[in-house]
Amino acid sequence: MRKKKKIFILLGHPDSDSFNETLASEYERGAIEAGHEVRRQNLEEMDFDPVLHKGYRVIQPLEPDLAAFQENVKWCDHFAVFYPTWFSTMPAKLKGVFDRAWLPGFAFKFPSHGFGWYRLLKGRSAAMFVTSDTIPIILRIVFGDTTNEMRKGILWLAGFSPVYQHKFGYLKHFGVWRRQRLQRKVYRLGRKAE
């Protein structure tokens, strides 16, 4: 029997009326039905300034939605993020969540002297669900690894391991039956917390 987990789901599409929302909801349904404890935030409903105006030189006070995001990340055992690939990266508002909330002292810490850093969110796993209108292998060949920013630069940097990657592409050409099959797959992944 699988261990029950505390799962935090972030719908990282700025439009909640999207196929990403459908997938996030299927994952959430699977996780709840399997007995996992679930929290969720939808990017579209989050109200915050996405621009890190002064870098880390001056830390901006976090708006309530970003403070809730940090609390949900600290609370969870498993973090699942759903987002589309736009111009080979995540949507700007989603990047703004990480620019603003993935701060030194929260996600990582640099030592006062020496090299490297401390990963402050160790002991958690993550799953990335990344959609595109291009076949994932073609996206990789033409543009390189479009998930590296999230997978390594954000999640791995903070200590998340393992980080499961689920890439779904050519979505605008998916018929109803292929979308339904994909929804069933994501539902099963939610049950397993992967």
The C-alpha atoms of residue 43 and residue 45 are separated, in whole angstroms, by 5
Q: Could you write out the DSSP letters of every residue in 56-73?
A: TSSPPPPPHHHHHHHHHH
The C-alpha atoms of residue 152 and residue 158 are separated, in whole angstroms, by 9
Task: Yes or no: say if 87 and 14 are a contact pair by the CB < 8 Å rule.
Answer: no
Q: What is the pLDDT of residue 107?
A: 97
All structural domains of the chain, each given as residue ranges with its CATH number in brackets, are: 6-192 (3.40.50.360)
Of the two residues 139 and 31, the one the predictor is more confident about is 31
β-bridge partners, 40: 9
Q: In whole angstroms, how far apart are CA 108 and each of 103, 104, 113, 122, 128?
A: 7, 5, 15, 10, 20
Q: Which residues of 102-115 are buried (b: 16+ CB within 10 A; e: fewer)?
A: bbeeebbeeeeeee
129 has a pLDDT exceeding 80: yes
Q: What is the pLDDT of residue 26?
A: 98
Neighbours of 79 (CB within 10 A): 22
* Average confidence score pLDDT of the chain: 92
157 has a pLDDT exceeding 70: yes
Q: What is the pLDDT of residue 44?
A: 97
What is the identity of the amino acid at 3? K
Q: Give percent of the chain above pLDDT 90.
A: 74
**Given the structure tokens 């990047």, which residue do they identify?**
95
Q: What is the pLDDT of residue 74?
A: 98
pTM score over 0.85 = yes
pLDDT digit string, tens, across residues 79-115: 999 999 998 889 999 999 999 999 999 999 988 887 8
